[in-house]
Amino acid sequence: MQFTAAQIAMIINGKVEGNADTAVVSFGKIEEAQAGQLAFLANPKYEEYLYSTGASIIIINESQELKQKISATLIKVPDAYSAFATLLDRYQQIKRQQLVGIQQPAYIASTAKLGDHVFIGAFAYIGEHVIVADGAKIYPNAYLGDNVTIGENTIIHPGVRIYHDCIIGKNVSIHAGTVIGSDGFGFAPQADGTLKKVPQIGNVIIEDGVEIGANAAIDRATIGSTLIKSGAKLDNLLQIAHNVEVGNNSVIAAQTGISGSTKIGNHVMIGGQVGIVGHIKIADGTKINAQSGVSKTIKTPNTAITGSPAFDYTAALRSQAASRNLPGLEKRVLELEKQLKEIIEKLSLKSH
């Protein structure tokens, strides 16, 4: 696909400086881009390439001061990184709009309802009473169990498994290998020492605008729903247990595990490899550092925590700084003890 600078500027609300008819057919990193490609500059570390790149069009910040003449056509925007993301999203939308129809072989139950402009990939399984809304894309080898609902323009990537009764909203993206609605980890200890499985009869609800990475597992609720609210972004390799709630626009990085019935607030940021115990609440705006272990409810909004068990981020940094000084402090204490002993011995001799 070919786009001119004028067309791109219209999409990202930018201002063209140079030839508005300059056209590009692909994207390139600013340090490697060639003629016919579009690049962007958002990180000052790459400013030197602004003057040497072969890119035909470059998106830059309005605040960028030019130190020499540039041959490429520029598109100036308030935030180059955000504008570039918007452009890539539009590019993907155009490509996906061209992907429609049903590939064979695919199994689609007679009771399933498919909207307009949907795509069903080869070897996909669409169960009884499934609803696939307008514009949704179901890639090859995906599995949609009975009574699953897929919202408008949602993308289910290859190999995703969505168990029965789960509800997926609009404009959701679920990446390859992720499992939605597998059984929660519920077992009742018995008098004889065995563990009796507790049936998991709830579901998972994923609201609009959520993105879930590859190979994540989101368990269905024992009763009720495991809930991922609008705008949340979940990384690869996550474990979200039964009856967990993840708030609006919260972000969770890879290899994090959240135990059952924990409630994550809105706009929470959770780093990689965090472990969170069950039946607690995490306040809105909380920031949890990577590899932290959270064992208690966080009540104060916009708190930053770290460590295992996790506690206030600033206090933790002070504690770490103090612990690094312990060897020197130990040496000073030993020296002071030695000096004190010598003083006591001298005073003792004088008293006699």
129 carries an active-site annotation: no
Alpha-carbon distance of 174 to 161, in angstroms, equals 10
| CATH label, 3-97, candidates 3.40.1390.10, 3.40.640.10, 3.30.2010.10, 3.30.200.20 | 3.40.1390.10
Q: Is 147 helix (H, G, I), strand (E, B) or coil?
A: coil
pTM of the complete model: 0.81
The pLDDT score that the predictor gives to residue 260 is 96
Which CATH superfamily hosts domain 101-314? Hexapeptide repeat proteins (2.160.10.10)
Residues in CB range of 135: below 8 A, 6 or more apart: 97, 115, 116, 117, 118, 152, 153
Digitized pLDDT (tens) for each residue of the chain, 352 residues in all: 789 999 999 999 999 999 999 999 999 999 999 999 999 999 999 999 999 999 999 999 999 999 999 999 999 999 999 999 999 988 888 877 788 999 999 999 999 999 999 999 999 999 999 999 999 999 999 999 999 999 999 999 999 999 999 999 999 999 999 999 999 999 999 999 999 999 999 999 999 999 999 999 999 999 999 999 999 999 999 999 999 999 999 999 999 999 999 999 999 999 999 999 999 999 999 999 999 999 999 999 999 999 887 768 777 777 777 778 888 888 888 888 888 888 888 887 776 6
C-alpha distances (whole Å) from 282 to each of 212, 249, 261, 275 are 20, 14, 12, 13
Catalytic residue among 242, 267, 279, 352: 242
In one-letter notation, the amino acid at residue 327 is: P
**Tokens for 206?**
């994923």
The pLDDT score that the predictor gives to residue 210 is 98
User: How do the domains of the chain map onto residue ranges?
Assistant: 3-97, 101-314
Q: At what angle do helices 313-324 and 326-351 cross, to 10 degrees?
A: 50
